[in-house]
Amino acid sequence: MKALVLEDLARNFGGLPAVDGIRLEAPAGRITGLIGPNGAGKTTVVNMITGLLKVTRGRIKFGDDDVTEADATQLARIGIARTFQNIRLISDATVLENVVAGFHRHETTGTFANLFGLPSAQRERRALEDKAMILLEQFGMTGLARHPAGGLSYGHQRRIEMMRALAMDPALLLLDEPVAGMNDSEAHSLADIFRNVARRGVAILLIEHNMRFVMSLCDHIYVLASGRLIAEGTPDAVGRDPRVIEAYLGA
Ligand SMILES: Nc1ncnc2c1ncn2[C@@H]1O[C@H](COP(=O)(O)OP(=O)(O)OP(=O)(O)O)[C@@H](O)[C@H]1O
């Protein structure tokens, strides 16, 4: 089973360290949390893992692959998917079309067949729509399949984004504040989905401000403050750690 491993990972902005030599391991089948007060460096870490930012120092590995320099296409091929803090959907397209777009990685028919609407491409599209409908069912959104994504509530749009990431059938799922702006019951239903995804052997790295959500869901938590790793352990141990309490109170 593969694990995401960060070794001595660092990133400077204008000579100042935003992330200063952290290590982390997020194994398959587990939900690993990355928390810390505002400006701790969490998003910078995710942006380095997903190739949006170059690392200043250190290595990023996933299983046997060193993905420190990998671009978006290589990461998708390896099976690394993410959601964003700011929702990025095709707002004119329907919910179903948005989720189908997430299957992109698995399409086997060539562009030529797609362009000319050949039967093979149509068959493939229908098969992808069927698979997308299974995801919609899991997320309780079957009835909204044909609605334009842009007109839906924030909570629904967040769910579409997650379905799109899951449509890639990822081996590693990076969730950047997935329940921001959701109420407790919406967050609760997502927690069940994430647990099921992890149970299937996916490694999940969760970045989240909602402490109750993180504490109830994660197997292991890493805590960042000012770019450094200040604590790690089970939710219980981290919740009682004086360094963590101080970092949050001082923030
Ligand atoms: N593109 C950038 N240019 C300069 N400084 C940046 C850039 N991105 C982030 N920083 C700085 O790096 C530090 C870490 O920011 P980052 O967004 O990673 O923190 P975070 O833990 O994700 O915060 P939040 O919880 O508020 O999203 C901050 O001091 C921030 O100002």
CA of 179 to the centre of ligand 1 (A): 20
pLDDT at 90: 87
- Residue 205 tokens read as 């790295």
Other Cβ atoms closer than 10 A to 192: 11
pTM of the model: 0.87
Sign of CA dihedral 46, 47, 48, 49: positive
Q: Is the CB of 39 under 6 A from ligand 1?
A: yes
Segments making up each domain of the chain, as ranges = 1-79+170-251, 92-168
Cβ(18)–Cβ(32) under 8 Å? no
User: Atom 8 (ligand 1): residue with closest C-alpha?
Assistant: 44
pLDDT at 114: 59
pLDDT at 116: 60
How far apart CA 247 and CA 175 sit, in angstroms, is 23
What top-level class would CATH report for the domain 1-79+170-251? Answer: alpha beta
Low pLDDT (below 70) residues in the chain? 104-119, 251
pLDDT by residue (tens digit) across 161-187?
889 889 888 999 999 888 888 888 888
Strand segments, DSSP code E, in 104-213 are: 172-176, 203-207
